[in-house]
Amino acid sequence: MELIFLGTGAGTPSKERNVSSLVLNLLSERNSFWMFDCGEGTQHQVLHSSIRLGRLEKIFITHLHGDHIFGLPGLLSSRSMAGSQDPLALYGPPGIKAFVETALNLSGSYLTYPLEIIEIQPGKVVEDQQFCVTALPLVHGIESFGYRIVETDKPGTLDASRLLAEGIPAGPIFQRLKAGELVSLDDGRVVNGHDYLGPAQKGRSLAIFGDTSPSETSLVLAKNVDVMVHETTLEASMAEQANSRGHSTTQQTAELAKAAGAKRLIITHFSARYDSEESVRLLAECQEIFPQTEMACDLAVFTL
């Protein structure tokens, strides 16, 4: 599992940072990619990455500001022009359906694949055998969400050496035991797979925030996650300006990560006033409070 940052700037692109988009690489887990936000120019950034649009399974939009959605019509169309026929699901706040359908209809665009658009409400938005995704509201002037992604716990390792020592032959039986089944042997014994499994492997968790000023919901969203991805639009001394526009500072973001018990913090969504050298100062402000802070840059890849 990897996080690939396609755009790490705020509001407008700069020479060093495009506007918001990141991708969760789930090729190993489900042979697909999940995208979070799709600002203008996102599909150009994809060309410089390992991401394949044909394997894009889901897109999650945090809010409807242009720097988070203006890349959607072009990306959806390019996926179609590449001949993809695999379904794509798009999740976002109310209004996302009208935006996408209007842009595609007025431009005479067509899609070669089924596109399902789900306008979300607070609560679970995706749940299957592998992952649960929950959306919670944030504070940003317009409706904005953060997404909490939790991987299902994996069964523990099967103790094959113990099974062999007890005269249980390797083969298809081992697969059934690893699934926790009860298996009847030829000698009359009944073996419970759970008795031969090690401790379950806890699933990974992450919180991906939309734009927001500090809120109580943020603490719930990030509680004990392995990785927290959060905006740090402005430096600590500019809290009043940041909060008045529905954004957070370095200090506020780091304090949230510490209070939530997050294991790692990745900061992103930097104002264009900060070039690459000045961005290092923002990282330092976070690390003073939360040492496990890392700074995202365009096309950076983080392994979970």
| Catalytic positions, written as ranges | 67
What's the 3-state SS for the chain?
A: CEEEEEECECCCCCCCCCCCEEEEEEHHHHCEEEEECCCCCHHHHHCCCCCCHHHEEEEECCCCCHHHHCCHHHHHHHHHHCCCCCCEEEEECCCHHHHHHHHHHHCCCCCCCCEEEEECCCEEEEECCCEEEEEEECCCCCCCEEEEEEECCECCCECHHHHHHCCCCCCHHHHHHHCCCEEECCCCCEEEHHHHECCCECCCEEEECCCCCCCHHHHHHHCCCCEEEEECCECHHHHHHHHHCCCCEHHHHHHHHHHHCCCEEEEECECCCCCHHHHHHHHHHHHHHCCCEEECCCCCEEEC
247 marked among binding-site residues: no
48 marked among binding-site residues: no
44 marked among binding-site residues: no
269 marked among binding-site residues: yes
230 marked among binding-site residues: no
Q: Which positions make up the binding site for Zn(2+)?
A: 63, 65, 67-68, 140, 211, 269
Q: Which positions make up the binding site?
A: 63, 65, 67-68, 140, 211, 269
